[in-house]
């Protein structure tokens, strides 16, 4: 069964604090993809990152970094020096299979991040 768990429902931080959003996934496939999307108050889902199951290298993009660990089935997302504009709901998602498959996304329930000025 495919499942994504985001145990943190809401997180509140003060601007400039670092914050880590947790994501744990379940899948039986050996080939899969993991994603993070941001959903600001406007509602549109914004793609942030994709990782495939064969690439466990951590990635940094500006203030964002991602830690992928297959041993614990986790794909955590850290925002360094948070800003008010980071306030949004963040979703972790899983897609199984290769490029020829449906590639539907299985989303977690999301983490609401509130960054206070």
Partner 1 sequence: DTGVSQDPRHKITKRGQNVTFRCDPISEHNRLYWYRQTLGQGPEFLTYFQNEAQLEKSRLLSDRFSAERPKGSFSTLEIQRTEQGDSAMYLCASSLGLAGNSYNEQFFGPGTRLTVL
State the Cα torsion 110-62-47-67 to the nearest 10°: -50
Residues 89 and 39 sit within 8 Å (Cβ to Cβ): yes
Rounded Cα distance between 37 and 64, Å, is 12
From 21, 91, 113, 115, residue interacting with partner 1 (rule: CB under 8 A) = 91
Q: Which is nearer to partner 1, 64 or 107 (CB)?
A: 107
From 4, 23, 79, 88, residue interacting with partner 1 (rule: CB under 8 A) = 4
Compute the least distance from the CB of residue 104 to partner 1, in Å: 4
Residues 52 and 59 sit within 8 Å (Cβ to Cβ): no
Of residues 34-73, which lie at the interface with partner 1 (CB under 8 A)?
35, 37, 42-47, 50, 52
DSSP 3-state helix, strand, coil percentages of the chain (rounded to 5)?
A: 5, 50, 45
| Interaction between residue 83 and partner 1 (CB under 8 A) | no
Q: Which is nearer to partner 1, 63 or 104 (CB)?
A: 104
Site of interaction with partner 1 (CB under 8 A): 4, 31, 33, 35, 37, 42-47, 50, 52, 91, 93, 95, 98-100, 102-110
């Amino acid at each position: 069964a495919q499942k994504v768990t985001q145990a943190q429902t809401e997180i509140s931080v003060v601007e400039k604090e670092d914050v880590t959003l947790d994501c744990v996934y379940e899948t039986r496939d050996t080939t899969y993809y993991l994603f993070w999307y941001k959903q600001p108050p406007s509602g549109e889902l914004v793609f942030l990152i994709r990782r495939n199951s064969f690439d466990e290298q951590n990635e940094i993009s500006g203030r964002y970094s991602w830690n992928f660990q297959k041993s614990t089935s986790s794909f955590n997302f850290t925002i360094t020096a948070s800003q008010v504009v980071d306030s949004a709901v963040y979703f972790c998602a899983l897609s199984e299979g290769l490029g020829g498959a449906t590639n539907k996304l299985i989303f977690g329930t999301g983490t609401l991040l509130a960054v206070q000025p």
